[in-house]
Chains A and B, each alone.
Chain A
């Protein structure tokens, strides 16, 4: 069964970005707007089957994050068809939605609910999430008393305890110290063993090799190569080195 299907998907942005005051809109009306268009994704087609784990690689600005945003439906594509089958959970930026003035417990509950966990699930998993994060006594304290690492650990801990069919992760591996990273990777491998589907974006090729079985290499919004993870990474690294 296919979990994710992309058929000829394109996403374009106006070069000047969206932010505009009334003045800007009026000026465009007056001049007849002719903003330049830039394709973040261009006619992208691929599928991810149930139980597969896809790595997305490419240099900065290749379209990796836009791809994840289209998968999670944060941004609708301009052309093509996207279908997602199953419950999806995304860790695109750790700590989105956290607030410094709320305590660890309050942030945990808020974040869990945003990730789609119900009141009951949150209550059941509460102890385990706190234990996994390792923030200990600090859980009752406002977030502003936390170190940066502790905030990330708490955020990751919530995210990893959501139990979706498809997990989408953007660059979230490099969190915390070595011990915590090992725990995270172990947790994600367990997720894979359970037959779940994953899509990961990272610049850490070692982690991707360990975590994924297929890879998609993007450049300027287009697929350069897709296939078994080791092959694609080797080709990608070969080309990067050759360029340098």
Chain B
């Protein structure tokens, strides 16, 4: 039984992760702005100059993919190793253990917020207007974050038992970069694969974001439903896996 202040611990752990990450960089948070912009430039160069492509606003479309995807890869990779990285806390301080992976995901949310700022700035620079559909962004982001949280809870617990989990996650991230519509649009997906695409919360997030920002319209209700259900299901499963595996963390760390 732990009688502490859950929110206070979470807040301190989030701040710790965020500060430690950026304090040792001379450019600090600026790095997290630079990374998606460099990727956007390179991908735009390759996919509009080197390869024939007439998509309007391609750089913005790419950025709509990169921002959620970057959050996903960073949070998932850092979250997965978080229990082992903080083994001294897990083994030596009686705290509710899920605060460790949760704090990593939340600290990456600060990063996501900054990247959203970059996305909005570029949206305006490329001639799109802010519109009423933007009001959907907090809701879809919320479900998207729940999805990442569920995934991180599951893989962080598994990583304690199977130390190769982190390599599985790394490989999955590389594969997902191509399976999520980042450099291409949903319209090129053949009919048979469309259902599967929409069930992937990362793809759903990217598609919803593009529609909101580039077409100034609300995302399709079925897509939002799929995102919501997929996220809540992932979180539920992740939580149960974490709870079940947590009992033997001590023996395996």
Tell whether, in the assembled complex, residue A113 and residue B5 are in contact, meaning their CB atoms are under 8 Å apart: yes
Tell whether, in the assembled complex, residue A22 and residue B162 are in contact, meaning their CB atoms are under 8 Å apart: yes
Tell whether, in the assembled complex, residue B89 and residue A96 are in contact, meaning their CB atoms are under 8 Å apart: yes
Other-chain contact of B13, A18, A72, A110, A117 (Cβ < 8 Å): A110
Contacts of A110 in B (CB 8 A): 12-13, 16
Tell whether, in the assembled complex, residue B20 and residue A99 are in contact, meaning their CB atoms are under 8 Å apart: yes
Contacts of B133 in A (CB 8 A): none
Indicate whether A25 reaches chain B with its CB closer than 8 angstroms. Answer: yes
Tell whether, in the assembled complex, residue B92 and residue A118 are in contact, meaning their CB atoms are under 8 Å apart: no
CB distance from A24 to the nearest CB of B (A): 9
Number of interface residues of A (CB under 8 A): 36
CB distance from A169 to the nearest CB of B (A): 13
Other-chain contact of A117, B4, B24, B91, B163 (Cβ < 8 Å): B4
Interface residues of A in 2-27 (CB under 8 A from B): 13-14, 18-22, 25
Other-chain contact of B16, A14, A18, A25, A106 (Cβ < 8 Å): A106
Indicate whether A92 reaches chain B with its CB closer than 8 angstroms. Answer: yes
The complex places the Cα of A199 from the Cα of B161 at a distance, in Å, of: 31
The complex places the Cα of A101 from the Cα of B22 at a distance, in Å, of: 10
The complex places the Cα of A107 from the Cα of B183 at a distance, in Å, of: 43
Most buried by A among B12, B163, B164: B12
* 14 examples of A-B residue contacts, CB within 8 angstroms: A18-B248, A19-B252, A21-B162, A73-B94, A90-B93, A96-B88, A97-B92, A113-B4, A113-B9, A114-B9, A114-B12, A115-B93, A116-B5, A118-B8
CB distance from B197 to the nearest CB of A (A): 30
Indicate whether B240 reaches chain A with its CB closer than 8 angstroms. Answer: no
CB distance from B72 to the nearest CB of A (A): 24
The complex places the Cα of A233 from the Cα of B160 at a distance, in Å, of: 40
Contacts of B20 in A (CB 8 A): 99, 101-102
Residues of B whose CB lies within 8 Å of any CB of A are: 1-5, 8-9, 11-13, 15-16, 19-20, 23-24, 86, 88-89, 91-95, 160-164, 247-248, 250-253
- Secondary structure at the A interface, as helix, strand, loop or mixed, is loop
CB distance from A136 to the nearest CB of B (A): 23
CB distance from B100 to the nearest CB of A (A): 10
Q: Nearest A residue to B15 by beta-carbon distance?
A: A106
The complex places the Cα of A67 from the Cα of B151 at a distance, in Å, of: 34
Tell whether, in the assembled complex, residue A97 and residue B89 are in contact, meaning their CB atoms are under 8 Å apart: yes
Contacts of A72 in B (CB 8 A): 94
Most buried by B among A99, A114, A122: A114
Contacts of B24 in A (CB 8 A): 101
A70-84 vs B, CB cutoff 8 Å, 1 = contact: the mask equals: 001111100000001
Residues of A whose CB lies within 8 Å of any CB of B are: 13-14, 18-22, 25, 69, 72-76, 84, 87-88, 90, 92-93, 96-97, 99, 101-102, 106, 109-110, 113-119, 122
Contacts of B94 in A (CB 8 A): 72-74, 88, 90
CB distance from A129 to the nearest CB of B (A): 15
Tell whether, in the assembled complex, residue A101 and residue B23 are in contact, meaning their CB atoms are under 8 Å apart: yes
Tell whether, in the assembled complex, residue B164 and residue A22 are in contact, meaning their CB atoms are under 8 Å apart: yes
Known: A25-B162, A110-B13, A118-B4. A102 touches B19 (CB 8 A): yes
Most buried by A among B3, B161, B163, B164: B3
CB distance from A103 to the nearest CB of B (A): 9
The complex places the Cα of A102 from the Cα of B91 at a distance, in Å, of: 21
The complex places the Cα of A32 from the Cα of B13 at a distance, in Å, of: 41
Known: A97-B93, A101-B24, A116-B4. A74 touches B164 (CB 8 A): no
Tell whether, in the assembled complex, residue B4 and residue A114 are in contact, meaning their CB atoms are under 8 Å apart: yes
Contacts of B4 in A (CB 8 A): 113-118
Most buried by A among B9, B11, B23: B9
Contacts of B164 in A (CB 8 A): 21-22
Known: A13-B251, A97-B89, A99-B20. A20 touches B8 (CB 8 A): no
Other-chain contact of B250, A74, A87, A97, A115 (Cβ < 8 Å): A74
CB distance from A3 to the nearest CB of B (A): 13
Q: Nearest B residue to A95 by beta-carbon distance?
A: B88
Q: Nearest B residue to A22 by beta-carbon distance?
A: B164
The complex places the Cα of A13 from the Cα of B91 at a distance, in Å, of: 15
Contacts of B86 in A (CB 8 A): 97
Other-chain contact of A18, B1, B3, B92, B253 (Cβ < 8 Å): B253
